[in-house]
């Protein structure tokens, strides 16, 4: 048996019977430098053990060497596909720690930026999942729409991927009337684009056969493994941080929490995780329209002290609903300008942890579809 670097107790096998196959860390379907160690009996997976750490950069430790404001750009690197949420969660944690309040207009701008980013992140998910299943054309459609959102965000804050837009006490730039008009026109066109995706791939017979009843996660397992976001809701668990642990201006907005019901197979299967994100994009459109309609006048940044030095021994924990689910930031202060300790709770780490439980019994091709449906991104697992 090959030396795979994983403790033997994590991989059940009979010597000489199973083949060890490394999927990754440089495999297109792993969506980053993640390694899956598969034990195979022919085409059937007997065990699947994730091996992470290839992208570890010490981002949590770096916070101890930065000022509170100086660490803000690093948060973009936690989840580079949905960096706005990392910006917002960190800024909110520091605000809670130091007693700083963001003005109402800034809160609206944060939600506008985050919901645009949620749609962009889900588009990458949809395009990647369908491409992993052998359908290349939907990926091009999804990336085309994502580029339109990147153009809007670039006009808002000057960046297309690592935004550094949400700041402690507010946001870095105001929105213009011209950009508001562009966002409205994009939203009007995007709803028809979602219907186009449905016609192109969602209910395609081959795609559905690749996804329906594949990688089924029960409600109990989802809760036991700490799944969050669409992965949790696809299993029939009705929980969303925006509604159940409300923050920012979400209590003022009307939107629906999409929950898996087993539309074409069983709740918690690959198709349900996919289609839930389709529905969530439409809900984000509703949220964005409300924010643009209600956007108040005023400042985009609150009054900040020259030096942010929270009280010694103070701590704060803040949660936001990112595109990958419940994103938590915990900060402890020692009375200096630098955090004493920072920790982030991300959705991808827990999503990856359920692989070894669910993958056994699948075919290799089904593991590819199942892994893609979990929306794991490597930087979130290695912090």
Per-residue pLDDT tens for 259-304? 999 889 899 999 999 999 999 999 999 999 999 999 999 999 988 8
Q: How many Å apart are CA 65 and CA 354, to the nearest integer?
A: 34
Tell me the longest C-alpha to C-alpha distance in the chain: 70
The per-residue pLDDT for 229 is 94
The per-residue pLDDT for 6 is 53
pLDDT tens for residues 28-77? 777 778 899 999 999 999 999 999 888 888 999 999 999 999 999 999 99
The per-residue pLDDT for 1 is 39
The per-residue pLDDT for 2 is 44
Domains of the chain: 8-51 (no CATH), 59-381 (1.10.645.10)
Q: How many Å apart are CA 325 and CA 274, to the nearest integer?
A: 14
Residue 20, number of CB atoms within 10 A of its CB: 16
Which residues of the chain have a pLDDT value below 70?
1-16
Mean pLDDT, rounded, of the chain: 92
**Residue that the structure tokens 């022919």 belong to:** 42
Q: Which two tokens stand for residue 72?
A: 């803000």
């Amino acid at each position: 048996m090959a030396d795979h670097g994983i403790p033997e107790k994590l991989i059940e096998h009979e010597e000489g019977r199973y083949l060890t196959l490394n999927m990754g860390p440089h495999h297109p379907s792993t969506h980053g430098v993640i390694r899956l160690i598969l034990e195979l009996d022919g085409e059937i997976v007997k065990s699947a053990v994730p091996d992470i750490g290839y992208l570890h950069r010490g981002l949590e430790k770096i916070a101890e060497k930065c000022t509170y404001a100086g660490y803000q750009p690093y948060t973009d690197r936690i989840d580079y596909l949905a960096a706005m949420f990392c910006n917002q969660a960190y800024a909110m944690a520091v605000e809670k720690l130091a007693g700083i309040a963001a003005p109402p207009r800034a809160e609206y701008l944060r939600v506008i930026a985050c919901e645009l980013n949620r749609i962009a992140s889900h588009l990458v998910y949809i395009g990647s999942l369908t491409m992993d299943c052998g359908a290349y054309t939907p990926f091009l459609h999804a990336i085309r729409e994502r580029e339109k959102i990147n153009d809007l965000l670039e006009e808002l804050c000057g960046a297309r991927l690592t935004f550094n837009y949400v700041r402690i006490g507010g946001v870095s730039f105001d929105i213009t009337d011209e950009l508001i008009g562009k966002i409205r026109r994009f939203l009007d066109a995007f709803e028809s684009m979602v219907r186009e995706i449905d016609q192109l791939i969602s209910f395609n017979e081959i795609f559905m056969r690749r996804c329906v009843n594949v990688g089924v996660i029960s409600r109990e397992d989802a809760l036991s493994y700490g799944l969050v976001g669409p992965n949790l809701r696809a299993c029939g668990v009705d929980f969303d941080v925006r509604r159940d642990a409300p923050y920012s201006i979400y209590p003022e907005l009307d939107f629906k929490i999409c929950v898996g019901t087993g539309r074409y197979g069983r709740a918690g299967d690959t198709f349900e995780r996919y289609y839930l994100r389709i529905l969530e994009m439409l809900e984000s459109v509703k949220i964005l329209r409300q924010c643009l309609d209600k956007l108040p006048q005023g400042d985009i940044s609150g009054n900040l002290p020259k030096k942010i030095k929270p009280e010694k021994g103070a701590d704060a924990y803040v949660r936001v609903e990112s595109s990958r689910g419940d994103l938590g930031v915990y900060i402890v202060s020692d009375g200096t300008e630098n955090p004493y300790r920072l920790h982030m709770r991300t959705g991808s780490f827990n999503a990856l942890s359920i692989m070894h439980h669910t993958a056994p019994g699948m075919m290799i091709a089904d593991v590819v579809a199942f892994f893609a449906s979990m929306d794991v991104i490597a930087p979130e697992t290695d912090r």
